[in-house]
Amino acid sequence: MNSQEAAVLCRYVRALCPQQKFDEFTPDAWADVLSAYTLNDARQAAARVAKRQPFVAPAEIADEISKLRAERTHDFRYEPPPGDRDPNYIANYRAQLAATGDGHRPPVIDRPALPARPVAELVKSLADSIPKPPDHDEPVTPVRRPGPLGRECPTCHAAIGRPCRTNRGRERDPHEAREAAAHGRQHDPDAEEQRRKNAARHLTEETA
């Protein structure tokens, strides 16, 4: 807004507020305060302020212009022109936003809609894109634990992962048969029984 436009605005405000006083310096002062705004926005803002109070100050006009532009741009949507590319996006966006704030909303560009497809054809295309489950379940590799506990005990039948037990139900070290199975050895019950007898005889001799 320049001094000439500010003079027009002052006459307009004086018509809205007959009791408000102006002198020859008022247009220049208002031009300094409202230099960033257009005359059209200032007139609309002054009219809105004058509906609420008998006097209108230039600062109140500036505040009302901010509200007015916010109302115009609250639902702003960028409309890219045909052939618009990224290098032009920021400049075009700012230009459209400024024009909308000035009260000049850009026209909505009609874009061709996507061709309609029959529902059955659309459903079939979606179904074809979904992988089909296998006709049979894939074999599941059993989980094995390392060492003797990775096998069922042939002697006390302790399950995989569970410790071996004595005849009285107490936990004990893995049986010889379980150790042999874990290390791929052939279990010899007679040899195990002989080792047990030798151990018992040795213990008896030590305690005698």
Query: Residue 84 has what DSSP assignment?
Result: -
125 located within any domain: no
Among 1, 99, 101, 68, smallest CA distance to 12 is for 1
Place of tokens 């894939």: 138
65 located within any domain: yes
Q: How far is the CA of 144 from the CAs of 121, 151, 152, in angstroms? A: 49, 8, 11
High-pLDDT (> 90) share of the chain, %: 34
pLDDT at 153 over 60: yes
117 located within any domain: no
Query: Residue 150 has what DSSP assignment?
Result: G
pLDDT tens across 156-170, in order? 999 888 899 988 889
15 located within any domain: yes
- Domain boundary pick from 73, 88, 115: 73
Residues 8 and 60 in one domain: yes
Among 181, 180, 159, 163, smallest CA distance to 172 is for 163
pLDDT tens across 49-100, in order? 999 999 999 999 999 999 998 888 887 776 666 655 566 667 777 887 787 7
Residues 101 and 152 in one domain: no
pLDDT at 3 over 70: yes
Q: Considering its fold, how many domains does the chain have in total?
A: 3
When pLDDT is cut at 50, 70 and 90, the band that residue 26 belongs to is: very high
The answer to whether 49 and 80 have CB atoms below 8 angstroms apart is: no
pLDDT of residue 136: 66
Residues 59 and 83 in one domain: no
Lowest mean pLDDT among 70-74, 116-120, 177-181: 116-120
Residues 94 and 47 in one domain: no
Q: Residue 86 belongs to what domain range?
A: 78-107
For residue 109, give both structure tokens: 């560009």
Length of the chain measured in residues: 208
pLDDT of residue 112: 58
174 located within any domain: yes
**What is the Cα–Cα distance from 156 to 145, expressed in whole angstroms?**
18
